[in-house]
A and B are shown apart, each in its own frame.
Chain A
Amino acid sequence: MSDHEEHVIDRESGTMGMWLFLFTELFLFGGLFLVYAVFRYMHPAEFHEAGLELDTFVGTLNTVVLLISSMTVAMSITAVQKKNNALALGLLAITTILALVFMVNKYFEWTHKFHLVIYPGSPVLENMERGELLFYGLYFIMTGLHALHVIIGLIVLFFAGYGIMKGTVTSERTLLLENAGLYWHLVDLIWIFLFPLMYLIT
């Protein structure tokens, strides 16, 4: 606002604020990971059984997709720093496409589960063992919350790209893009933990 035109958020403060926010996000998911750990400890065999049901191939594919998208975001920051805005926008576009690929995979994975009548509150699920019920509950809420973060990340990346086009993100002022990148790495990082816990430890 006009009263504070001279108020500039320097880069170090901006990233510091972002890191603090990322901590809160980690703690948010940390609560779910804690619940996962407790229930896995209580029902190891049933978690094992239920985990076999998930498609490891799709999970691996999505992991690779997200890892590459993290790389392209990091590259786009370097591109802006080197004043190559066209390349930076291109790399952000690739990131967006990869994120959409991730979401489409996720969509097919979930609809497949729905076909098997596995969704929260479904009759099949309610007749399962307690541990399997909890596993699927955690599966849906954790991947669901993660997918929500992918969408938020996409919106943030969009604003960063818009900033490059409008000239508010420049080689001198990369804060917005850097923070968007940090957020995107968080989305990636959480998936790196979700993937083995859900798909691999069986």
Chain B
Amino acid sequence: MTQSEKYTHVSYREHQGKYKGIMAWLTTTDHKRIGLMYLFGIAVFFCVAAVLGLLMRIEKIAPGETIMDAATYNGIFTLHGVIMIFIVVIPGIAAVFGNFCLPIMIGAKDVMFPKLNLLSWYIYVIGAILGVLSQFMGDGPPDTGWTFYVPYSAEANSNVVIALTAAFVLGFSSILTGLNFIVTIHRMRAPGMTFFKMPLFPWSLYATAWIQVLATPIVGITLLMVIAERTLHIGFFDPALGGDPLLYQHLFWIYSHPAVYVMILPAMGVVSEIFPTFSQKPVFGYTAIAISSLAIAVVGYFVWGHHMYTSGISYYSRWFFSFLTFIVAVPSAIKVFNWISTMYGGSIELRTPLLYAISFIFLFLIGGFTGLTLGALATNVHVHDTTFVVAHFHYIIFGGMGFAFFAAMHYWFPKMYGRMYNEKVANLAWGFLFVGFNVLYFPLFIIGLQGMPRRYFDYLPKFQTGHVISTIGAFILITGLIIMIANLIRGVRKGAYASANPWKGVTLEWQIESPPTLLNFDKVPEIKHPPYLFKKETEA
């Protein structure tokens, strides 16, 4: 499990290139270092946005103005949304663990375009800085919400243009990462690794990358059109200038719904790795999981209209989008059944990553089922724009993608740093996070059903009980986050040295040193078996 001796090889973190110190990182083209640099960026911005979320919860502990006025509240929920969606969750797992693990898992030394990979990181940083600057420059923080709906976003006096530019730039970074991954998966798999001998995390990244490449340009041009509307008065969307606001919503959601799958598909890939490892059993229904990733990517492209049931689209298109929304739930359900079947009959070892993965299924199920409530036409009209929606997408994005991110962090941590975190503390942090998460978001379902609108800083006294419980949950959640982050940082500095394969995993990343050397493999591995062949099966 752990070893007291420090590893003897030169890892990618200690390798000496042309430059030293911080410059060695800023000029690196090593996919593992770039993955870690994304991790640092995402962690910092996640903490910022989490604090903003906490501030919103404190504001809502009592009706009326508590700690901020309405305008500040609007600015804060916009910034919370923009940071969480564009800077944290969309790059999220793909940029951090995709960069770190994808080349290793397919037996390659790096991605196909290492320099482009570094460029994507710089574009990401520029976009992130612009996003933060938009809060402090010009005429006050943007208050449009992360969706930038026109006509308000075309007319608001706040600093919308920079926020739009930030989202555009971040989209560009996302496109380049996706492009890199597609070519890497097509061209750099180790000899013998056919597509259907590839582990499932690369499969999910492959589906994700196609969405990034094919959907992001649409939102790019849409945001550019809003920028043109604000700066040049070319009216595509503002009725005052001749345009059509509904068209904006269509174009925005054509990207932004598939973007939800950019967030969740890599998360599904992560847990598809964790379940077989901690059950010591091949994943159940490998092909079904792999193909369902692609199915989600394809069908997910055609469900955007379910964000617009109340916007005034025709009866038939509502019917069509509602139908497809139900269809897209099928491949997700297939995955859930397969994960659970993977555990059935396995020798389960309940370690920290598995705790996160199991809670991922639990939270993702709640998020998924309430998604069907929202996807059905009749119930949607009732709960549209209430905190029910807020609770739903936090269950999917935070409960799903967020918990899978933490799962991945605890799963690949020994590989990344060659050290181990304190597992007891990690489990404790998980407990706080899981309880805090549910206490925070579940009451929002209930008060949402009772009619509490989203994005309001004030509310009727009858909703106060729900809000108070929710705010208590926020504090529990933040406590869990602090414990988890502190434990991980301590693990990086002082944790016990980990062996190369602490979880007895069988995918390629566990067959090399922890942390990996710069070139990952001493010699190019040759793949002869399907990906999840554990000892028991090999002997049989």
Chain A contacts to B: CB under 8 angstroms? 1-4, 7, 9-10, 12-13, 16-17, 20-21, 23-25, 27-32, 34-35, 38-39, 42, 120-121, 130-131, 133-134, 137-138, 140-141, 145
Nearest A-chain residue to B180, judged by Cβ: A17
Which residue in B17, B110, B180 is a CB contact (below 8 Å) of A7?
B110
- Contact between chains at A9 and B213 (CB < 8 Å): no
A61 to chain B minimum Cβ distance, whole angstroms, is: 26
B195 to chain A minimum Cβ distance, whole angstroms, is: 16
- List A contacts of B110 (CB < 8 A): 4, 7
Which residue in B115, B180, B235 is a CB contact (below 8 Å) of A134?
B235
CA distance A134 to B236 in the complex (A): 7
Which of B221, B222, B236, B247 is most buried by chain A, counting CB atoms within 10 A of its CB?
B221
- List B contacts of A137 (CB < 8 A): 228, 234-236, 241-242
B375 to chain A minimum Cβ distance, whole angstroms, is: 25
For window 13-65 of chain B, which residues contact chain A by CB distance below 8 Å? Answer: 15, 17-18, 27-30
Which residue in A17, A30, A121, A134 is a CB contact (below 8 Å) of B218?
A30
Q: Is the interface of A mostly helix, strand, loop or mixed?
A: helix
Nearest B-chain residue to A27, judged by Cβ: B217
Which residue in B18, B221, B222, B247 is a CB contact (below 8 Å) of A1?
B18
- Of the 9-residue stretches B126-134, B181-189, B271-279, B344-352, which lies at the interface with chain A? B181-189
- Contact between chains at A35 and B225 (CB < 8 Å): yes
- List A contacts of B183 (CB < 8 A): 13, 16-17, 20
Q: Which of under 10, 10 to 19, 20 to 34, or 35 or more describes the interface residues of B?
A: 35 or more
- Contact between chains at B251 and A9 (CB < 8 Å): no
- Contact between chains at A34 and B251 (CB < 8 Å): yes
- List A contacts of B224 (CB < 8 A): 145
A sample of 27 inter-chain contacts (CB < 8 A) reads: A1-B18, A2-B17, A3-B28, A3-B29, A4-B114, A7-B110, A12-B187, A13-B112, A16-B187, A17-B112, A17-B116, A20-B183, A24-B214, A27-B215, A28-B217, A28-B220, A29-B221, A30-B217, A35-B251, A42-B244, A120-B233, A133-B242, A134-B242, A137-B236, A137-B241, A141-B225, A145-B224
- Contact between chains at B217 and A31 (CB < 8 Å): yes
For window 156-204 of chain B, which residues contact chain A by CB distance below 8 Å? Answer: 175, 179-180, 182-183, 186-187
* Apart from A2-B18, A4-B110, A141-B232, 16 more pairs, CB < 8 Å: A1-B114, A7-B114, A13-B186, A16-B187, A17-B116, A17-B179, A24-B214, A27-B215, A27-B217, A27-B218, A28-B220, A30-B217, A32-B221, A32-B225, A121-B233, A121-B234
Which residue in A4, A31, A42 is a CB contact (below 8 Å) of B222?
A31
